């Protein structure tokens, strides 16, 4: 992965240089170049459809990067809950507690664990302890633990002891600042065999904050082993092992149609054994061995395949399932042929787990895990970014997967991750990571692409300016790109921004410019996030024919209509430092309301942004536009994205 990361960084640097060169050539480096609007006009033929808007156009893509799940969406509050991963002498994020005159030690024990999958544990050896002087450990959480008033938290852990009279484990949620216990409880007595214990902790009146930790102590001398120590707040739709409500709500506002899962590089892993091996991510947590994410930390796999699917269900999306296709990031690959066959079978099993009836082997397994209803599935992506595979093995690997998938599931659309020479896949996944000036150029790329090739899935795209989350300039670049996606949505059937999430705490980010930022307590949307919210909120079902003349530089538009709702959605993007005026002509409108709704996302400075402390600096502002008629002039403010909702009924 590191070499891959370097390649990506290299590309990024290259793009940056290109940016400067292009910017100089265009005279855009901060030099104002006021430009007369001349006869800038957009004509929309409302009674003349060009094509349907792809019903799947906007969706989501995520992976375990930037603490997206662990320390992010997946609501688990205990960090390093299973003591798994690369060997270390001290258990990271865990600390010894010796109260009063007690004494003890803690150590990792790789000789005992609660299951075949979890063979490690944390040993607490209490040499001197009693009820007033307990010994134990505390966990610091993912940059703290967010506690809210009058809220119930569910804690659980696996434990065993060497003493008959050890009693139970005391659990407490404690403020880092005051040392005050804000909630506490005690488990049943431990025994000599590994067993799961579950308790609840309820907070009282307190000011919501993330400056807290979880303490587990015992009050008798002896040895206690712990594993899979877990703490959950209330989750979205109260799912057990579920997700953070604030992040789910932010995604819901994007009205996503699909979720591309499970990655990205996370699908491939650094090495073949580090791939997203879906069969090891289902079932009870104690049976999930965890695995290294290519983004340099261990994934708990609490977000396993079924949890991904439940996430799609909760947000009314469809999974776009990416299957591991025999290439991992550090270059190891399996050539097409008999050695690839087990991986092909894994993919077929995975498709069956997602979409098979309960009369199938893997559909029955899904039912046994609590979800008898098959998930809708129409798209399967074979691999990820296989243009990185310099061996040239992808075309044959794709072919082997594709034939097997089509033979068993002819209704599925398959997606190739790069252009192929000999096969025409149903779809091709194109990825773009750009500077704003490059996004402006890219916005028209698909206007002239051959319609006889595969359909396009823009499975990863982003304008990358701003860190940890993109700034207004990125949002402008993104909006320009999205006008191109909409205009060409006969060809571009789906598009998903990446990466979606970043934990903004120090050390949380491996990849800059991520759509939504958060810490343990709060989350916020970047300007780019709000651009996507706007584009998805105002999207018709048809693209009408339209023409534009003399549009200024850095000015973009798209128009969609909803006949059923009698609406025209006109999106305008002005990436200039001055306002720009266009003349809008609406041909074929049966009737037109004189007043329209306008939502504007903009600012004074393209470097402006939102942050965890200032989350609402750049947000859409709703106003109304009067005097709409078949031809009207409209001025788009500097550095702004506008959506005009016109009513034709
Ligand atoms: O989005 C970050 C990474 O960029 C993805 O994991 C990978 O597919 C791409 O190179």
Count CA atoms within 13 Å of residue 598 on its CB side.
20
Q: Assess whether the C-beta atom of 263 lies below 6 angstroms from ligand 1.
A: yes
Neighbour tally for 373: CB within 10 Å: 11
Least confident piece of the model among 26-40, 82-96, 147-161, 190-204:
26-40
Distances (CA, A) of 38 to 27, 429, 550, 551, 586: 20, 39, 7, 9, 19
> How is residue 167 written in tokens?
């009693």
Measured distance CA(440)–CA(437) in Å, rounded: 5
**Which of 265, 269, 295 maximizes ligand 1 atoms within 8 Å of its Cβ, making it the mutation to test the pocket?**
265
Residue 85 pLDDT: 75
**Which of 1, 274, 384, 495 maximizes ligand 1 atoms within 8 Å of its Cβ, making it the mutation to test the pocket?**
384
pLDDT at residue 8 greater than cutoff 80: no
pLDDT-based confidence at 201, cuts 50/70/90?
A: very high
Q: Which atom of ligand 1 is nearest to the CA of 460?
A: 1
Q: Assess whether the C-beta atom of 265 lies below 6 angstroms from ligand 1.
A: yes
- Residue whose C-alpha is closest to residue 83's, from 225, 238, 213, 202: 225
Residue 89 pLDDT: 72
**Cβ distance 645 to 560 under 8 Å?**
no
Distance (angstroms) between ligand 1 centre and the Cα of 293 equals: 12
Q: Which atom of ligand 1 is nearest to the CA of 265?
A: 6
**Cβ distance 531 to 571 under 8 Å?**
no
User: What is this structure's pTM?
Assistant: 0.93
Number of H helices and number of E strands within the chain?
A: 10, 32
Residue 37 pLDDT: 57
Q: Which atom of ligand 1 is nearest to the CA of 8?
A: 10
Report helix, strand or coil for 585. Answer: strand
What is the average pLDDT across 381-388? Answer: 98
**Cβ distance 464 to 18 under 8 Å?**
no
Q: Which atom of ligand 1 is nearest to the CA of 63?
A: 6
Least confident piece of the model among 11-20, 98-107, 252-261, 291-300:
11-20
pLDDT-based confidence at 649, cuts 50/70/90?
A: confident
pLDDT at residue 11 greater than cutoff 60: no
Measured distance CA(56)–CA(47) in Å, rounded: 24
Distance (angstroms) between ligand 1 centre and the Cα of 260 equals: 12
pLDDT at residue 29 greater than cutoff 90: no
pLDDT at residue 313 greater than cutoff 50: yes
Distance (angstroms) between ligand 1 centre and the Cα of 237 equals: 30
Q: Assess whether the C-beta atom of 270 lies below 6 angstroms from ligand 1.
A: no
Q: Assess whether the C-beta atom of 511 lies below 6 angstroms from ligand 1.
A: yes
Taking only the tens place, the pLDDT of each residue in 172-181 is 999 999 999 9
Residue 589 pLDDT: 87
Taking only the tens place, the pLDDT of each residue in 333-379 is 999 999 999 999 999 999 999 999 999 999 999 999 999 999 999 99
Residue closest via CA to ligand 1's atom 7 equals 264
**Cβ distance 511 to 65 under 8 Å?**
yes
Measured distance CA(429)–CA(458) in Å, rounded: 6
Residue closest via CA to ligand 1's atom 9 equals 264
Distance (angstroms) between ligand 1 centre and the Cα of 264 equals: 5
Q: Assess whether the C-beta atom of 459 lies below 6 angstroms from ligand 1.
A: no
- Residue whose C-alpha is closest to residue 118's, from 286, 267, 349, 5: 286
**Which of 5, 64, 264, 431 maximizes ligand 1 atoms within 8 Å of its Cβ, making it the mutation to test the pocket?**
264
What is the average pLDDT across 472-489? Answer: 98
Residue 38 pLDDT: 64
Could you tell me the strand order of the sheet in which 567-574 lies? 621-625, 596-602, 640-647, 567-574, 555-562, 542-549, 41-52, 580-587, 631-636
**Cβ distance 224 to 107 under 8 Å?**
no
Q: Which atom of ligand 1 is nearest to the CA of 499?
A: 1
Write down the residue that tokens 């903009």 correspond to: 602
**461 forms bridges with which residues in the sheet?**
432, 497
14, 16, 20, 25 alpha-carbon torsion, rounded to 10°: 60
**Cβ distance 153 to 231 under 8 Å?**
yes
Measured distance CA(52)–CA(561) in Å, rounded: 10
Measured distance CA(400)–CA(405) in Å, rounded: 9
Q: Assess whether the C-beta atom of 384 lies below 6 angstroms from ligand 1.
A: yes
Q: Which atom of ligand 1 is nearest to the CA of 431?
A: 9
Alpha carbon 389 to its chain centroid, in Å, reads 25
Taking only the tens place, the pLDDT of each residue in 129-165 is 999 999 999 999 999 999 999 999 999 999 999 999 9
Distance (angstroms) between ligand 1 centre and the Cα of 265 equals: 6
Measured distance CA(627)–CA(631) in Å, rounded: 10
Measured distance CA(416)–CA(428) in Å, rounded: 5
Q: Assess whether the C-beta atom of 420 lies below 6 angstroms from ligand 1.
A: no
pLDDT at residue 4 greater than cutoff 70: no
Query: What share of the chain in percent tops pLDDT 90?
Result: 92
Neighbour tally for 184: CB within 10 Å: 14
**391 forms bridges with which residues in the sheet?**
none
Taking only the tens place, the pLDDT of each residue in 263-279 is 999 999 999 999 999 99
Maximum distance among all Cα pairs of the chain, rounded to whole angstroms: 89
**Cβ distance 42 to 582 under 8 Å?**
yes
Residue closest via CA to ligand 1's atom 4 equals 264
pLDDT at residue 618 greater than cutoff 60: yes
> How is residue 496 written in tokens?
């998903």
Q: Assess whether the C-beta atom of 499 lies below 6 angstroms from ligand 1.
A: yes
What is the average pLDDT across 579-594? Answer: 94
Distance (angstroms) between ligand 1 centre and the Cα of 53 equals: 27
Residue closest via CA to ligand 1's atom 8 equals 264
Measured distance CA(141)–CA(376) in Å, rounded: 36
Least confident piece of the model among 36-45, 292-301, 375-384, 513-522:
36-45
What is the average pLDDT across 88-109? Answer: 93
Q: At what angle do helices 341-355 and 305-314 cross, to 10 degrees?
A: 40
- Residue whose C-alpha is closest to residue 71's, from 529, 518, 613, 526: 518
Q: Assess whether the C-beta atom of 498 lies below 6 angstroms from ligand 1.
A: yes
Count CA atoms within 13 Å of residue 80 on its CB side.
22
pLDDT, the chain, mean? 93
Q: What letter does residue 356 receive in the DSSP assignment?
A: -
Measured distance CA(325)–CA(304) in Å, rounded: 19
pLDDT-based confidence at 222, cuts 50/70/90?
A: very high
> How is residue 164 written in tokens?
């008959």
**Cβ distance 71 to 508 under 8 Å?**
yes
What is the average pLDDT across 275-294? Answer: 98
100: left (phi over 0), alpha (psi -120 to 50) or beta: left
Residue 88 pLDDT: 67
β-strands 195-202, 212-218: how paired?
unpaired
Report helix, strand or coil for 550. Answer: coil
220, 222, 228, 230 alpha-carbon torsion, rounded to 10°: 10
């Amino acid at each position: 992965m590191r070499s891959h990361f370097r390649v990506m960084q290299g590309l990024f640097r290259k793009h940056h240089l290109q940016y400067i060169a292009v910017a100089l050539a265009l005279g855009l480096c901060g030099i104002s170049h006021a430009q007369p609007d001349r006869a800038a006009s957009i004509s929309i033929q409302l009674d003349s459809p060009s094509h349907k808007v792809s019903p799947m156009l906007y969706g989501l893509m995520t992976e375990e990067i930037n603490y997206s799940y662990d320390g992010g969406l997946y609501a688990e509050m205990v960090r390093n809950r299973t003591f798994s991963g690369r060997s270390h002498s001290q258990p990271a994020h865990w600390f010894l507690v010796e109260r009063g005159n007690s004494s003890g030690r803690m150590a990792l024990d790789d000789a005992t664990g609660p299951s075949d999958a979890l063979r490690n544990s944390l040993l607490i050896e209490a040499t001197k302890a009693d009820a007033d002087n307990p010994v134990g450990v505390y966990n610091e959480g993912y940059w703290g633990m967010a506690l809210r008033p009058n809220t119930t938290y569910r804690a659980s852990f696996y434990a065993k002891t060497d003493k008959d009279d050890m009693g139970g484990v005391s659990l407490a949620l404690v403020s880092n600042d005051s040392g005050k216990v804000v909630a506490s409880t005690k488990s049943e007595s431990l025994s000599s065999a590994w067993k799961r214990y579950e308790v609840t902790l309820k907070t009282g009146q307190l000011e919501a904050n993330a400056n807290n930790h979880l303490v587990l102590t015992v009050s008798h001398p002896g040895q206690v082993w712990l594993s899979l120590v877990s703490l959950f707040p209330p989750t979205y739709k109260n799912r057990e092992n579920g997700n953070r409500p604030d992040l789910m709500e932010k995604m819901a506002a994007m009205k996503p149609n699909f979720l591309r899962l499970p990655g990205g590089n996370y699908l491939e892993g650094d090495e073949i054994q580090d791939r997203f091996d879906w069969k090891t991510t289902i079932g009870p947590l104690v049976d999930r061995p965890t695995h290294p994410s290519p983004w340099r930390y261990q994934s708990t796999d609490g977000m396993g395949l079924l949890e991904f699917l439940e996430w799609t269900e909760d947000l009314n999306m469809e999974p776009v399932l990416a299957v591991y296709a025999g290439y991992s990031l550090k270059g190891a690959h399996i050539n097409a042929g008999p050695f690839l066959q087990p991986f092909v079978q894994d993919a077929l099993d995975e498709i069956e787990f997602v979409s098979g009836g309960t009369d199938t082997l893997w559909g029955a397994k899904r039912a046994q895990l609590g979800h008898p209803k098959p998930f809708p599935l129409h798209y399967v992506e074979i691999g990820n970014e296989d243009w990185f595979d310099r061996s040239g093995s992808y075309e044959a690997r794709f072919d082997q997967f594709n034939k097997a998938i089509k033979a068993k599931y002819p209704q599925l659309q398959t997606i190739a991750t790069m252009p192929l020479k000999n096969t025409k896949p149903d779809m091709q996944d194109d990825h773009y990571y750009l500077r704003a000036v490059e996004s402006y150029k890219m916005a028209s790329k698909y206007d002239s692409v051959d319609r006889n090739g595969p359909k396009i899935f823009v499975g990863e795209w982003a304008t990358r300016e701003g860190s940890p989350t993109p700034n207004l300039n990125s949002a402008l670049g993104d909006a320009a790109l999205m006008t191109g996606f909409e205009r060409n949505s006969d060809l571009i059937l789906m598009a998903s921004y990446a990466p979606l999430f970043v934990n903004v705490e120090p050390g949380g980010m491996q990849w800059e410019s991520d759509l939504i930022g958060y810490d343990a307590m709060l989350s916020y949307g970047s300007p780019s996030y709000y651009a996507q919210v706007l584009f998805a909120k105002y999207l018709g079902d048809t693209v009408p024919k339209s023409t534009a003349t003399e549009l200024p530089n850095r000015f973009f538009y798209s128009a969609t209509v909803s006949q059923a709702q009698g609406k025209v959605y006109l999106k305008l993007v002005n990436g200039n430092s001055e306002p720009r005026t266009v003349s809008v002509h609406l041909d074929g409108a049966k009737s037109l309301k004189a007043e329209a709704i306008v939502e504007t996302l903009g600012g004074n400075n393209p470097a402006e942004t939102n942050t965890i402390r200032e989350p609402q600096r750049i947000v859409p502002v709703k106003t109304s536009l009067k005097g709409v008629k078949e031809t009207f002039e409209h001025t788009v403010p500097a550095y702004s994205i506008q959506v005009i909702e016109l009513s034709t009924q």
